[in-house]
Amino acid sequence: MKLEKYEKLQERFKELEGLLADQNIISDQSQYQKLAKEYSDITPVVNLFGEYQDVVHQIDDLKKLLSEKPDKEFVELAEAELSELNEKVGQLEEELDDLTNPKKQGQNRNLIFEIRAGTGGEEASLFASDLFRMYSKYCDKKGWVLEPINSNPSETGGFKEIIFSISGDGAEKHLKWESGAHRVQRVPATEASGRIHTSAATVAVLFEAEDVELEIDPNDLKIDIFRSSGPGGQSVNTTDSAVRITHLPTNTVVICQDERSQLKNKYKAMRVLKARILDKMKRDSMEQESADRKLKVGSGDRSEKIRTYNFPDRRVTDHRIGFTSHKLQYILDGDMDELTEALIQAEHEDNLNE
């Protein structure tokens, strides 16, 4: 294992401790927040590397004692302890790699999901609602927090669009590959003849932007306030609380009207706006880097058909990795681990092949 990068992080950690105690830095909140975030980010790595160094020193001490040819009983004890310490070193090396490998980073970022009904009319909106329920149930099982942000219900009780955030340890790791077109094959509730229809909904998974990651000039925003309305134009409330925010340079528009508070709607709309702008910036960057490969488990293309939910065969197929499960209802009820673990394994194998 190359130690230089960890030793440099130790040096930077000590440097940051001094900077964060500097009154000039403290008075500059923007600079202070950036340094505080960097300090927070590298603290787990520095602490873990310190533990690694302690174990390595213990190994060196034991080897030195064994070289002095002590009695047989001591040798047996020392060799047993040495074996345990070597195993621990291996574990710590893996943990350090997990913390510092860019491909394994960011697995605790908050996610913003946008589900939209696609082809299939009202049946597509019902399927969008089924997907929302599936993710909600999965979050419940995992202990993650799902927070609704905005929705556009359909006449039949589904969703033309629904936006929500998911936060929690490991949420990104398990759900980051959900972007794309999800297709359902079943007999719609609205179909009297019993024919199987194919409908679709698209899922977009965005990473919520942090303040130090993306700064937006207030002068670049156009904010409109209007009265909320539900399906069919029915009034949701009698106050002008709905918010539409337009980011002029990118022409990105976000509407939020679920809350009765204008302030809350504005806050939620800004979260979605920042996530969309950050997502666009990353996509533009990837397009410019022609050598950048696309993992087989997803290019992030919203139009890419990634999964089919087939009700007659009780089958779910992820087309990117050729994975099929016949536990359709379990998956729709939130038991998604079999599916997400297959995607995680495919990503792992892709990284190894690279």
Task: Output 77 or 144, whichever has higher pLDDT.
Answer: 144
Domain(s) labelled CATH 3.30.160.20 in the chain stretch across 218-288
Return the pLDDT at 104.
54
Residue range 33-40: mean pLDDT, rounded = 86
Does 192 score more than 80 pLDDT? no
Architecture of domain 218-288: 2-Layer Sandwich (3.30)
Q: For residue 292, name the pLDDT band (cuts at 50, 70, 90).
A: very low
Task: Output 234 or 274, whichever has higher pLDDT.
Answer: 274
Return the pLDDT at 339.
95
Mean pLDDT, all residues of the chain: 85
Q: For residue 348, name the pLDDT band (cuts at 50, 70, 90).
A: confident
CA nearest 184: which of 119, 88, 113, 279?
A: 119
**Percentage of the chain lying above the pLDDT 70 cut:** 87
CA atoms within 13 A on the CB side of 29: 1
Residue range 277-284: mean pLDDT, rounded = 83
Lowest mean pLDDT among 7-11, 18-22, 70-74, 174-178: 70-74
Domain(s) labelled CATH 1.20.58 in the chain stretch across 4-104
**CATH class for the region spanning 4-104:** mainly alpha
Residue range 259-266: mean pLDDT, rounded = 90
Please, what sign has the CA dihedral across residues 348, 111, 310, 121? negative
Does 188 score more than 70 pLDDT? yes
Return the pLDDT at 352.
59
Domain(s) labelled CATH 3.30.70.1660 in the chain stretch across 111-212+297-353
* CA–CA distance, 161 with 117 (Å, rounded to integer): 6
pLDDT digits (tens, 9 = 90+) for 83-129: 899 999 888 988 887 777 655 555 578 899 999 999 888 999 999 99
Topology annotation, domain 111-212+297-353: Alpha-Beta Plaits (3.30.70)
**Tokens 């069919």 sit on residue:** 232
* CA–CA distance, 334 with 343 (Å, rounded to integer): 16
Chain centroid offset of residue 169 CA: 10
252-256 sheet: strands from edge to edge = 221-226, 242-247, 252-256
Asked if 258 and 149 touch (Cβ cutoff 8 Å), the reply is yes
pLDDT digits (tens, 9 = 90+) for 317-326: 999 999 999 9
Return the pLDDT at 299.
45
What does the radius of gyration of the chain's CA atoms come to, in whole angstroms? 26
